[in-house]
């Protein structure tokens, strides 16, 4: 799913979360310990125009996410794109296992929006079709779905089933992917997981998700 939030859109009110703070994290040691990434990788992300935020609950880091300011790459889809001026892409969000299910994710997203809004017109975010928990958090934070983003069935690459919330031209310029009518939903993979598993195995067979057998997208 591709979702978006603009500076003129409303933000839903979330339940109060006592003792939760969200801060832009500048300490690479904190990030390395939290994300298990090397400081070299963190430095590379910063050089490429990315910065990070961390959610702290009672002084304990519980979740993090990254903000792309110039360009982005969705590794699962092998999709790279450039961001227009005053557009940001939110990515690589993780809530640590002990704190999942508490509703931290939508608070983290909203506080990033509120912090970055002075210099941003539109925010974008992507999640895999089978990642239902992420989808619920994104919607709770106030993002609106633009369309379903997944692998094309009959050709290489990625397609976006647009729901008409934004012009197909704007979506195409952002991602550089094929824009498809909602009636063509059957031409994109229901999930990413099955397609990626087959790619890793080197198999050329058809993923189970095409026939609905995998159950990945059942909430």
Return the domain boundaries, the chain.
Answer: 2-188
Higher pLDDT, 181 or 13: 13
pLDDT value, residue 79: 93
pLDDT value, residue 213: 63
Say which DSSP state 77 is in.
G
- What is the average per-residue pLDDT within 191-204? 85
The top-scoring range by mean pLDDT among 2-6, 136-140, 156-160 is 136-140
Range scoring the smallest mean pLDDT among 44-58, 62-76, 166-180: 166-180
Range scoring the smallest mean pLDDT among 99-113, 124-138, 204-218: 204-218
Over the range 80-97, which residues count as b (16 or more CB within 10 Å of their CB) and which as e? ebebeeebbbbbbbebee
Taking the C-alpha atoms of residue 120 and residue 46, their distance in angstroms, rounded to an integer, is 18
Taking the C-alpha atoms of residue 59 and residue 20, their distance in angstroms, rounded to an integer, is 8
Tell me which fold the domain 2-188 belongs to.
Answer: Aminopeptidase (3.40.630)
pLDDT value, residue 142: 97
pLDDT value, residue 168: 46
Instruction: Please report, rounded to a whole number, the percentage of residues in the chain having pLDDT higher than 90.
Output: 67
pTM for this model (two decimals): 0.92
CB atoms within 10 A of CB 151: 24
- What is the average per-residue pLDDT within 120-126? 94
Taking a C-beta distance cutoff of 8 angstroms, is the pair 106, 14 a contact? yes
- What is the average per-residue pLDDT within 107-111? 98
Q: Is the pLDDT of residue 200 over 90?
A: no
End-to-end, the C-alpha distance of the chain in Å comes to 15
């Amino acid at each position: 799913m591709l979702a978006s939030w603009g500076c003129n859109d409303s933000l839903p009110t979330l339940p109060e979360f006592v003792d939760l703070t969200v801060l832009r994290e500048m300490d690479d040691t904190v990030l390395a310990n939290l994300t298990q990434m090397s400081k070299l990788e963190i430095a590379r992300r910063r050089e490429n125009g990315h910065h990070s935020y961390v959610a702290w609950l009672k002084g304990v880091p519980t979740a993090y996410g990254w903000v792309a300011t110039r360009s982005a790459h969705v590794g699962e889809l092998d999709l790279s794109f450039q961001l227009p001026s005053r557009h940001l892409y939110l990515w690589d969000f993780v809530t640590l296992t002990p704190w999942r299910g508490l509703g931290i994710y939508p608070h983290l997203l909203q506080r990033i929006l509120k912090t970055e809004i002075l210099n941003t017109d539109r925010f974008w975010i992507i999640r895999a079709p089978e990642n239902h928990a992420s989808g619920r958090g994104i919607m709770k934070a106030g993002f609106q779905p633009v369309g379903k983003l997944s692998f094309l069935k009959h050709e290489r690459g990625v397609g976006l089933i647009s729901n008409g919330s934004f012009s197909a031209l704007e979506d195409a310029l952002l991602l550089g992917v094929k824009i498809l009518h909602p009636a063509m939903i059957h031409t994109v993979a229901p999930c990413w997981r099955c397609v990626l598993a087959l790619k890793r195995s080197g198999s050329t067979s058809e993923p189970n998700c095409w026939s609905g057998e995998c159950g990945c997208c059942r909430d």
